[in-house]
Structure 1
């Protein structure tokens, strides 16, 4: 029993399928086994019926009766396989705690621009990131960021002052590791925790930086307080000498 006349496929594929069905039917008659060959043709050019059944009559008839149920399960399986990979199916992410990497909070902008595309490709099992295609956006990509090439800061001007581009990319990387439950491999706290820590420390640290980096003369900054005072005293003496010479 063979039924594939309604399937639109290439002539070479059809001929191969006919040969396969004849081999199955011959094997069934020779051995006495009930064998059925069920093929789903999923090509884009397929029209009308997209299944092919061959083999022993009894079993093939039973398969044909159950075809709606089998087809539904098959289609559901295909949708699942095309969706985003689950954490269990994704290869281990790079351990940023070991060479040649650095912990996430220490990665510079150049390293981040290279790491983000790598994570997109490795987690989606694609050879290219396919930037800009909404249907190709990874599940872990932050919702407030456009799925675009990280080499360019694509954010509007009014948002660039809220967060540096390097901080945005660190957040992208961390979201990937968090989605696949591999945060420890980043070697860093979450970006939100880092920002909170910086906010709590900012009053003291900013005052300290202002006192240590106070300008003494043009394009010169003195960090050591004692040395700074001595320079100021020398500058005062120099002014006194210049005034004395003019008088």
Structure 2
């Protein structure tokens, strides 16, 4: 019996199930990243304001990140049950380290002269954070979001261990039955989802940081002028 890796017949017969698992996979990823970002930002600000907290905060997030995903989901299951909540908690825990570290690096990389100038103009701590530090830290924050999002797309599949793995459910069943089309379809959809979400974050960064576009344009003009000068010489 023919058992191809790619099969339109499989999509016609199981399209509703594939779509349902893709929606679950996407919403789990987005929810986990949003929750992790909401937790990571205040933690990063705490580290920035009180360096003595850097060790404990980064240490705890680092320990969570090193726990194998299968083990973490299995450990959580007796307390949070089988299903979405357990997977979501695990995904948030894994995303925290990347998001906290990148946000801290971004905040620490803000030019001290800019901070001093804002402080000299009477900026409050909150205004300084919202209008000076966070905008300047955005490149690092967006980079962290991209890494965390792509890794979360992959980790969702491990949720199959507690019966809620999105596209991982299809992969697991395909492996059990050696149904290649099911394995390939779910794997390709995971890859496509990761690429789409990564591109969305790139576009978000492009929209949030218009000054980077101006900098690139000036850089291109400077290189063009340099080449012209070399050619004239």
TM interval, short-chain normalised: under 0.3
Q: TM-score if structure 1 supplies the norm length? A: 0.26
| Higher helix proportion (structure 1 or 2) | 2
More strand by share: 1
The higher relative CO (CA closer than 8 Å, separation ≥ 6) is in 2
